[in-house]
Structure 1
Amino acid sequence: MRRIGNLPSETQANRFCDYLQTQSIDAKSSSSDESAPPATTDHDIWIRHEQDVEKARELFSRFQSDPTSSEYDVSAEAARMRKQRSEQIAQKIAAQKKSQMRLNRATGGRGFSGGLGGPGQTPATIPVTIAVIVLATIIGFATNFSRVPMNPDGTGEGSDWAVYNALTCVDNPTYYATGDAFASIKSGQVWRLFSPMLLHGSMMHLAFNMINLYILGGVVERIHGSWFYLFLLLACQAIATTTQIALPDWLEPPLAIGASGAVFGVFGFVWIRPKMQASYPVEIPSFNVKFMLGFLVLCFTPIIPGIANGAHVGGLIVGVIVAAVAPPRF
């Protein structure tokens, strides 16, 4: 708080503070000499918010020149505004309590520790998240993290190549023959819109995506349920895959792998949802938001080459849109 001056009586101080209230400036007065009776001593005027100090000083100077002006007969209006503000605070507290009660019911009373993730987030409550992590891990090792031998025409041998080829966005021999990365999807193999999220290029690639999916995805699945989360995950991945394929080959290669498009989509949802619904029970710390957005931007630079930026952006956009239009959960 910042002191801007004093007035010669408690009546004037209260009168001026009432006026400031009507100007949306939060202020209070206090006796300059606490040992003296309030009615016999000057009263200091304090402004709560720093951004209001300059304006308050201007109004203070004007008030001092004519403190009896009818302009300052606003005690009733100030009282109404204070009452309204108190009611709004009470409603917000009640909404938060109601949201917490619903969250406790949804999570079996475990809630969330630290806002995201935490001890209460047990595997039994997030089956879709755990299933994706387990499948991606198994497939990562089964395909030697996508390092499979391949002939010049896109064909290959062995189970590792067969699994890899079945999960990429396009059948490799078909792509090598036609140059059309949408060929397999257009022929009816729609699972290829989603399956690239189970393929990863290294253990670090897998770990980064799965840790983020566990933290962010676990939050969404526990709050909104597995069906909603599955929809969000698949929608983000489908658009991420489509965006990456649609980019010109000279800009980025279409055959991208990894769950990062879905991860960025889930991040976008958890980032934006609290801004759309004040009672939403979790919020990503600002540091985490800056880290994810910073990483997104960094991937466009030569510092981190070979990244499917189209998938990242496509997934993020879907997550943000779903966060904006989804009905309130709590």
Structure 2
Amino acid sequence: MFIRNERSVTEFIKFYPVVSTIIIIHIVLWLIQDFLMLPIGNTLYQLGAGSNYHIAQGEYWRLITPMFFHAGLMHMLFNSFSLVLFGPALEQMLGKTKFVLAYVGAGIVANIASFIFGHAIYTHVGASGAVFGLFGIYIFMRFFRKHLLDYQSSQMITVIIVIGLIMTFLRPNINVYAHIFGFIGGFVIAPLVLRKTKPYSPWQRRYRDDDGVQFDPNRWKKKRVPSNMKKNAFWIVIVVLALLGLLSRIL
């Protein structure tokens, strides 16, 4: 269920509009802040970052906004890659509304924990708390909704989550509170959003022509985009962004 078989970026956006919108927000905010270095980017970052000091002063929107900002390209790409891998199946299973509630809800739980347990001037950004919330939902399915996960996906997600939790305590500059409590938040939210949920397979047939097959006499005259380019378009965009980030560090 974690295999991506969309033929183009357009198809990915069509099938997973919420995941796509979140990733686009990640990229746009990174572009205007870190790549283009526009003044408005720094202003948005200062207003949206999770700052315990400012939250204590009543700026409660900072319990939501940090999950859309990132500290550099690699940080943004890692969380966006995680969403590309683990978000689509849940969006299809839960539907757009429940997916948004689960994702944002887990992210808020993670940010509240960072406020409660972090020091008074602690500042943080990143979608990892919300992403770990998705992991929490998968683990709930792993133990209490086993029919929703095939065996391979169940084993894969378990290994990935165990590694992710271990790395949480080994890598420096990680918001441990966000990871742990985002995971817990997703686990608690899971039974609320998984009601009447059906299993999802990336191989299910999505392409249906309700009008039947029609003959187009000019079909051979039309210019066609090579299928390989369509299939790899999304990854090309991500790789280009990664190269830009690496070059920016070198230069």
Larger radius of gyration: 1
What is the CA–CA distance in structure 1 between the aligned matches of 2:186 and 2:145, rounded to whole Å?
Answer: 15
Amino acid in the other structure paired with 1:119: N
The two structures have a TM-score, normalised by structure 1, of: 0.53
After TM superposition, the structure 1 = structure 2 runs for residues 163-202 of structure 1, keeping only pairs within 5 Å, are: 163-170=44-51, 180-184=53-57, 186=58, 189-202=59-72
Matched-pair contact (CA < 8 Å) for 1:261–1:311: yes
The residue aligned with 1:230 is: 100
Kindly indicate whether the alpha-carbon contact (under 8 Å) linking 1:277 and 1:328 is maintained by their aligned counterparts in 2. no
Which letter does structure 2 place at the counterpart of 1:277? R
Amino acid at match of 2:12: T
1:239 aligns with 2:112: no
Matched, 1:297 2:166: yes
> Which of 120, 126, 139 is equivalent to 1:258?
126
1:137-183 CA-to-partner distances (Å, cap 9, x unmatched) read: 110121217xx8xxxxxxxx93232111121124xxxx7xxxx3423
| Identity percentage of aligned residues | 21
Contact residue 221 and residue 229 of structure 1 kept, 8 A: yes
Mark the CA change 1:116 to 1:223 in structure 2 (over 3 Å): closer, same or farther.
Answer: same
- Give the alignment of 1:40-51 within 5 angstroms: none
Give a deviation string over 1:102-148, Cα, whole Å, max 9, x none.
Answer: xxxxxxxxxxxxx2142158321211110000011110121217xx8
Runs of 4+ in 1 over 4 A off after TM superposition: none
Where 1:279 maps in the other structure, the secondary structure is helix
Unpaired runs of at least 5, structure 2: 199-251
- 1:215 aligns with 85
Residue 299 of structure 1: how far off its partner (Å) = 2.4
Q: 1:248 to 1:224 in 2, by over 3 A?
A: closer
Q: CA deviation at 1:281?
A: 4.9
**Structure 1: any 5+ residue segments left out of the alignment?**
1-114, 149-156
CA distance in 1, matches of 2:149, 2:163: 25
CA–CA distance in 1 between the matches of 2:89 and 2:100? Answer: 13
The counterpart of 1:132, out of the listed 17, 22, 34, is 22
Deviation at 1:202, TM superposition (A): 2.0
Matched residue of 2:34: which SS?
Answer: coil
After TM superposition, give the deviation of residue 282 of structure 1 in Å: 4.9
Instruction: Tell me the amino acid that sits aligned with residue 56 of structure 2.
Output: A
Per-residue CA deviations over 1:236-295 (Å, capped at 9, x if unaligned) read 110111111211429xx7311100000010111123214322331556342442233223
Structure 1 equivalent of residue 32 of structure 2: 142
**CA distance 1:279–1:288, shift in 2 (3 Å):** closer
Does the CA contact (< 8 Å) of 2:141 and 2:149 recur in 1?
no
Q: Which has the higher helix share?
A: 2
Q: In the TM superposition, what are the counterparts of 1:1-330 in structure 2 within 5 Å? A: 115-120=1-6, 122-144=12-34, 158-170=39-51, 180-184=53-57, 186=58, 189-249=59-119, 254-282=122-150, 284-301=153-170, 304-325=171-192, 326-330=194-198
How big is each residue's C-alpha offset from its partner over 1:27-57, in whole Å with a ceiling of 9 and x where there is no partner? xxxxxxxxxxxxxxxxxxxxxxxxxxxxxxx
Q: Secondary structure at the match of 1:182?
A: helix
Matched residue count: 192
Kept in 2: contact 1:264–1:319 (CA 8 A) = yes
CA distance, structure 2, for counterparts of residue 249 and residue 259 of structure 1: 20
